[in-house]
Structure 1
Amino acid sequence: MTQQIPIQPITATAFAPFGDVLNCAGEPDKIINQGKCGRYHDRATLDFSDGRAGISLFKAELRALPLILDLMERHPEGSQCFVPMSHDAFLVIVAQDAGNAPGTPLAFRTEPGQAINFHRNTWHGVLTPLTGTGLFTVIDRIGAGDNLQEHWFDTPWTVIDP
């Protein structure tokens, strides 16, 4: 028997304990490129213990709901930013730390055009596109040492669309 996690819309306030929501809400911070481009400046806090920021491409398989959540991971040495390369929403699953293991997970659905940045050491589910190409730009720590901790749940959770 699994416990259920209802998906909720992502907001900057609800997601703040886990990371940053990146979007083009409001007026741009600056107009550039001969007045043809709005710059929404410094939307995520990248945080690395050492190493450097790197840009990688991830191509994830599309998932379907309901989704069985049996694994969460975190990166103790650096934040991790996911920017979809299509105009599609995706699923984001996070949890507070509960003594070196994830607490009760929360599930958020982004809006098309949004990206997210996980704070360093935040428990999160794996990349979970529900529609689109599954192609993402990922900005994270490149450096020596182990930057991945995984937790497998004894009893999985089921993510549902309420």
Structure 2
Amino acid sequence: MSIELRTEPLTAEAFAPFGDVLECAGEPDKLINAGLCGRYHDRADLDFGPQGRAGLSIFNAQPRSLPYSFNLMERHPEGSQAFIPMTENPFLVIVATDVDGKPGTPRAFLTAPHQGVNFHRGTWHGVLTPLAAPGFFAVVDRIGATANLEEVILDMLHVVVS
């Protein structure tokens, strides 16, 4: 038995309870480099806690396809986590609100080309799920000595469809 989820487009408004959408949408905040570069300034609420620091890593995730089945969700209680694709390929973003320390009902977002996400600290999310190869991402997250990962196996298998 499984629960079916339909993907929805990734928009800043729909994703706001979970984090930030990283994209060049609308007019830039200012022009730099002699007017040849638009700067979309300070677009993510990066949070590394009092005992962490920002780290930049490169991930190479294996691509998946729809329908996509999952039962694992995770969160990072000590800091935010940003995924910035290094290709224009879309990827799947699965998130859930917190309900008494466990993931609530998951939602599935499908990114448009050139969109990334920043999960706020403590946001339940699925694993990195590119839908095409290569699955290269720049990841900005907390580096620190304390544990920053909680994983939960869901009672029911969830299947994401387009």
Normalised to the residue count of structure 1, the TM-score between the two structures is 0.97
Aligned mates of 1:34, 1:133 — CA distance in 2 = 34
Q: Greater shift after overlay, 20-29 or 70-79?
A: 20-29
How far apart are residue 27 of structure 1 and its match?
1.0
Aligned to 1:63: 64
Aligned mates of 2:100, 2:119 — CA distance in 1 = 19
How far apart are residue 132 of structure 1 and its match?
3.8
Q: How many residues align?
A: 161
How far apart are residue 154 of structure 1 and its match?
2.1
Aligned mates of 1:132, 1:86 — CA distance in 2 = 9
1:43-99 CA-to-partner distances (Å, cap 9, x unmatched) read: 101012121001000000000111111100000000000000001111000000111
Aligned to 2:148: 147
Unaligned runs of 5+ in 2: none
Q: Greater shift after overlay, 28-37 or 16-25?
A: 28-37
Give the partner amino acid of 1:72. M
Ranges of 4+ aligned residues in structure 1 off by more than 6 Å = none
Aligned to 1:17: 17
Aligned mates of 1:64, 1:78 — CA distance in 2 = 29
RMSD over aligned CA atoms reads 0.8
Aligned mates of 2:62, 2:46 — CA distance in 1 = 26
Aligned mates of 1:153, 1:38 — CA distance in 2 = 42
Aligned to 1:118: 119
Q: Secondary structure of the equivalent of 2:103? A: coil
Note the 1:24-35 alignment, pairs <5 A. Answer: 24-35=24-35
Aligned to 2:157: 156
Aligned mates of 1:68, 1:28 — CA distance in 2 = 38
Aligned to 1:89: 90
Note if 1:52 corresponds to 2:53: yes
Determine what percentage of the aligned residue pairs are the same residue.
61
Q: Secondary structure of the equivalent of 1:20? A: strand
Give the partner amino acid of 1:63. R
Aligned to 1:43: 43
How far apart are residue 26 of structure 1 and its match?
1.0
Q: Secondary structure of the equivalent of 1:64? A: coil
1:3-45 CA-to-partner distances (Å, cap 9, x unmatched) read: 1111111111110000000111111111111221111100101
Aligned to 1:5: 5
Normalised to the residue count of structure 2, the TM-score between the two structures is 0.97
